Amino acid sequence: DQQVKQNSPSLSVQEGRISILNCDYTNSMFDYFLWYKKYPAEGPTFLISISSIKDKNEDGRFTVFLNKSAKHLSLHIVPSQPGDSAVYFCAASAYGGATNKLIFGTGTLLAVQP
Protein backbone atom coordinates (compact mmCIF):
# COMPACT_ATOMS: atom_id res chain seq x y z
CA ASP A 1 0.00 0.00 0.00
CA GLN A 2 1.66 3.19 -1.21
CA GLN A 3 1.36 5.96 1.37
CA VAL A 4 2.77 8.64 -0.93
CA LYS A 5 1.58 8.72 -4.52
CA GLN A 6 2.68 10.63 -7.57
CA ASN A 7 0.12 9.66 -10.15
CA SER A 8 1.73 11.38 -13.12
CA PRO A 9 4.83 9.50 -14.27
CA SER A 10 5.76 12.31 -16.62
CA LEU A 11 5.01 15.94 -17.45
CA SER A 12 6.07 18.07 -20.41
CA VAL A 13 6.07 21.88 -20.19
CA GLN A 14 7.26 24.71 -22.41
CA GLU A 15 10.13 26.87 -21.20
CA GLY A 16 8.87 29.93 -19.33
CA ARG A 17 5.55 28.36 -18.39
CA ILE A 18 4.49 26.98 -15.03
CA SER A 19 5.20 23.36 -14.06
CA ILE A 20 2.87 21.83 -11.48
CA LEU A 21 3.83 18.51 -9.93
CA ASN A 22 1.35 16.76 -7.69
CA CYS A 23 1.59 14.39 -4.78
CA ASP A 24 -1.06 12.69 -2.65
CA TYR A 25 -0.66 10.94 0.66
CA THR A 26 -2.81 8.66 2.75
CA ASN A 27 -1.27 8.78 6.23
CA SER A 28 -2.81 11.61 8.25
CA MET A 29 0.10 11.42 10.71
CA PHE A 30 2.56 12.82 8.16
CA ASP A 31 3.64 16.26 9.34
CA TYR A 32 6.62 17.14 7.18
CA PHE A 33 6.88 17.05 3.41
CA LEU A 34 9.81 17.47 1.05
CA TRP A 35 10.53 17.67 -2.66
CA TYR A 36 13.70 16.33 -4.23
CA LYS A 37 15.03 16.68 -7.75
CA LYS A 38 17.09 13.95 -9.37
CA TYR A 39 19.22 14.06 -12.48
CA PRO A 40 20.37 10.80 -14.14
CA ALA A 41 23.39 9.17 -12.48
CA GLU A 42 23.26 11.57 -9.52
CA GLY A 43 21.79 11.44 -6.03
CA PRO A 44 18.51 13.21 -5.22
CA THR A 45 18.94 16.90 -4.38
CA PHE A 46 16.78 18.56 -1.74
CA LEU A 47 14.61 21.32 -3.19
CA ILE A 48 12.06 22.58 -0.71
CA SER A 49 10.05 21.42 2.29
CA ILE A 50 6.93 22.32 4.20
CA SER A 51 5.67 21.62 7.69
CA SER A 52 2.05 20.69 8.26
CA ILE A 53 1.51 23.91 10.22
CA LYS A 54 1.89 25.84 6.96
CA ASP A 55 0.00 25.71 3.69
CA LYS A 56 2.62 27.36 1.49
CA ASN A 57 6.38 27.73 1.31
CA GLU A 58 8.35 29.62 -1.34
CA ASP A 59 11.96 29.54 -2.36
CA GLY A 60 12.74 31.51 -5.51
CA ARG A 61 11.05 29.89 -8.48
CA PHE A 62 9.79 26.98 -6.36
CA THR A 63 6.62 27.02 -4.26
CA VAL A 64 5.12 24.09 -2.40
CA PHE A 65 1.45 24.10 -1.46
CA LEU A 66 -0.05 21.80 1.15
CA ASN A 67 -3.76 20.98 1.41
CA LYS A 68 -4.10 18.90 4.55
CA SER A 69 -7.83 18.26 4.22
CA ALA A 70 -7.28 16.79 0.77
CA LYS A 71 -3.97 15.16 1.76
CA HIS A 72 -2.42 16.74 -1.29
CA LEU A 73 0.69 18.75 -1.98
CA SER A 74 1.97 20.33 -5.14
CA LEU A 75 5.21 21.86 -6.35
CA HIS A 76 5.00 24.87 -8.66
CA ILE A 77 7.99 25.93 -10.73
CA VAL A 78 7.69 29.37 -12.30
CA PRO A 79 9.11 30.06 -14.79
CA SER A 80 10.22 26.62 -15.91
CA GLN A 81 13.70 26.32 -17.41
CA PRO A 82 15.29 23.52 -19.47
CA GLY A 83 17.67 22.85 -16.56
CA ASP A 84 14.63 21.90 -14.46
CA SER A 85 14.23 18.76 -16.56
CA ALA A 86 14.66 15.93 -14.05
CA VAL A 87 12.74 13.41 -11.95
CA TYR A 88 10.97 14.99 -8.99
CA PHE A 89 10.19 12.98 -5.87
CA CYS A 90 7.91 14.02 -3.06
CA ALA A 91 8.53 12.55 0.39
CA ALA A 92 6.77 12.62 3.73
CA SER A 93 7.55 11.82 7.34
CA ALA A 94 5.60 11.54 10.59
CA TYR A 95 6.23 12.93 14.06
CA GLY A 96 9.38 14.85 13.15
CA GLY A 97 12.88 13.95 14.33
CA ALA A 98 15.83 12.67 12.41
CA THR A 99 15.17 9.00 12.98
CA ASN A 100 11.79 9.16 11.32
CA LYS A 101 11.68 7.49 8.01
CA LEU A 102 11.00 9.35 4.80
CA ILE A 103 8.39 7.74 2.58
CA PHE A 104 8.91 8.60 -1.08
CA GLY A 105 6.57 8.74 -4.02
CA THR A 106 7.48 7.03 -7.28
CA GLY A 107 8.58 10.23 -8.99
CA THR A 108 7.48 12.42 -11.91
CA LEU A 109 9.75 12.98 -14.88
CA LEU A 110 9.57 16.66 -15.88
CA ALA A 111 10.66 17.64 -19.38
CA VAL A 112 10.94 21.38 -20.05
CA GLN A 113 10.96 22.01 -23.77
CA PRO A 114 13.01 24.99 -25.05
Partner 1 sequence: DAGITQSPRHKVTETGTPVTLRCHQTENHRYMYWYRQDPGHGLRLIHYSYGVKDTDKGEVSDGYSVSRSKTEDFLLTLESATSSQTSVYFCAITAGAGDTQYFGPGTRLTVL
Nearer to partner 1, 2 or 81 (CB): 2
| Exposed e or buried b per residue across 28-52, where buried means at least 16 C-beta atoms within 10 angstroms of its C-beta | eebbbbbbbbeeeeeebeebbbbeb
Rounded Cα gap, residues 63 and 66, in angstroms: 10
Does residue number 53 form part of the binding site for partner 1 (CB under 8 A)?
no
Query: Residue 1, Cα to own-chain centre: how many angstroms?
Result: 19
Smallest distance, partner 1 to C-beta of residue 101, A:
5
Does residue number 49 form part of the binding site for partner 1 (CB under 8 A)?
yes
Q: Which stretch binds partner 1 (CB under 8 A): 13-21, 61-69, 71-79, 101-109?
A: 101-109
Q: Which of 13, 21, 84, 89 binds partner 1 (CB under 8 A)?
A: 89
Q: Which of 32, 64, 77, 85 binds partner 1 (CB under 8 A)?
A: 32
Does residue number 101 form part of the binding site for partner 1 (CB under 8 A)?
yes
| Exposed e or buried b per residue across 83-106, where buried means at least 16 C-beta atoms within 10 angstroms of its C-beta | ebbbbbbbbbbbeeeeeeeebbbe
What is the contact surface with partner 1 in residues (CB under 8 A)? 4, 6, 32, 34, 36, 41-46, 49, 51, 89, 91, 93, 96-102, 104-107
